[in-house]
Amino acid sequence: MTAAGVSIASTASGHGRMRDRWVLAGLLTGPGLYIAIMAIVPAFLMVQLSLAHREVGGLWSPGFELTQYRQLATPLFARIMGFSLLLALTGAAICVSLAFPAAYFITRMRRRAQVAWLVFLLGSLSLSEVLIVFAFQVLLSTSGTLASALNAVGLLAPGASLYPNFPAVLTCLVYLLLPYVILFFYPALSQLDPEMEQAAATMGASRVSTFVKVVLPMMRGQILTGVLLVVIFTFGAYLTPLVLGRPPQWTIAIHINNAAMGAGNLPLAAAYAVAVVAFMVALLALTRILSQRKAVEA
């Protein structure tokens, strides 16, 4: 190719790149604006509200005071956050421990069986959360199927109920999130090269040690993201703890609602919400730092 030819070609590819950039910018404008309007603006208003002065009768006036934030330094708030975190981490541990092996075994099935499982999981997601939570309430109540069965075999005292309590909240949250987490792990696991496991087998690894020493470490990033996914969902859970738990099992989301709607203290509710967002951002940053450190070590 001549020098002129090269120059024409590079100019053409330069124009192509410029056009691609404009197309990309155009495609990103819509979602960008949507996020800016629907998330950043309310977040800004929330911060503004948390610093506002509380008026009587559920009203507030603009200001810059830290009165509501002082209430975050109380044992009550620490207990609420501590419980929400405990619930989120326990839920994440159970969900990921059940979902990861389940997704792994689904990917090792024949194609037809895999499709059947995926349809079943997607089908279970079509049920509304409200319906599921109230179904759990019926199932766990004194006259419910499960309580009656346990009663019949003498494992539950007559007239006792399996809710409201922490296990009921946890069980229902795990049920709600499990299909999402299985579906989250499925694509990554189905792309895992089967020759990796076969290579481990030819080197003397059993199926269990292959899973523990090869599959799990290779999927570390996905597992961490799966844990985060459940923590974020569970931290904001509202209906499940409200229906299946007692006040000690209420998450921060319920307390935010109570502060806003029950006590009419909108600035306090906003301060709670800001604290939750800050906590989540810190958690994400910590996870990122940890995963980057691992990558550097590798």
Partner 1 sequence: MFGLELRDLTKAYGDQLAADQVSLSIPHGAFVCFLGPSGCGKTTVLRMIAGLETPTSGSILLNGKEITDQPANARRFGMVFQSLALFPHLSVGENIAFALRLRGEDPRRRKERVDELLELVRLPGLQSRAISQLSGGQRQRVAIARALAQEPPVFLLDEPFSALDAKLREEMQNELRTLQQRLKITTILVTHDQREAMTMADTIVVMGEGQIQQHGPPVDIYRRPVNRFVADFIGASNLLAVEVLDGHTVRYGAIPLRVAAACGPGGAAATLAIRPEDIILSRTAGGGANEVAGVISLVRDMGAYVEYRIDCQGQDILGVSTPRDWIGAAVGEIAHIRLPVESCQVLGR
Give contact residues for partner 1 (rule: CB under 8 A).
193, 195-196, 198-206, 209, 213-214, 217-218, 220, 298
Question: For residues 139 and 192, which CB has a smaller minimum distance to partner 1 in the complex?
Answer: 192
Nearest to 183 by CA among 114, 283, 88: 114
Q: Smaller CB distance to partner 1: residue 10 or 206?
A: 206
Rounded to a whole number of angstroms, the minimum distance from the CB of residue 110 to partner 1 is 13
Residues 276 and 235 sit within 8 Å (Cβ to Cβ): yes
* Nearer to partner 1 among residue 215 and residue 269 (C-beta): 215
Q: How far apart are CA 63 and CA 181, in angstroms?
A: 43
| Min dist. Cβ of residue 287 to partner 1 (A) | 18
Helix axes 166-190, 220-235, angle to 10 degrees: 150
Q: At a CB cut-off of 8 Å and minimum separation 6, what does 49 contact?
A: 60, 266, 267, 270
* Residue 17 or 294 with smaller CB distance to partner 1: 294
How far apart CA 230 and CA 94 sit, in angstroms, is: 10
CB closer to partner 1 out of 17 and 213: 213
Report the alpha-carbon distance of residue 164 to residue 171 in Å, rounded: 12
CA 108 to chain centre: 26
Beta carbon of residue 185, minimum distance to partner 1 (angstroms, whole number): 17
* Least Å from the CB of residue 149 to partner 1: 42
Least distance between partner 1 and beta carbon 207 (Å): 8
Nearest-approach distance from CB 219 to partner 1, in angstroms: 9
155 or 199: whose CB is closer to partner 1? 199
Which of 201, 243 has the CB closer to partner 1?
201
Nearest approach in angstroms of CB 186 to partner 1 is: 20
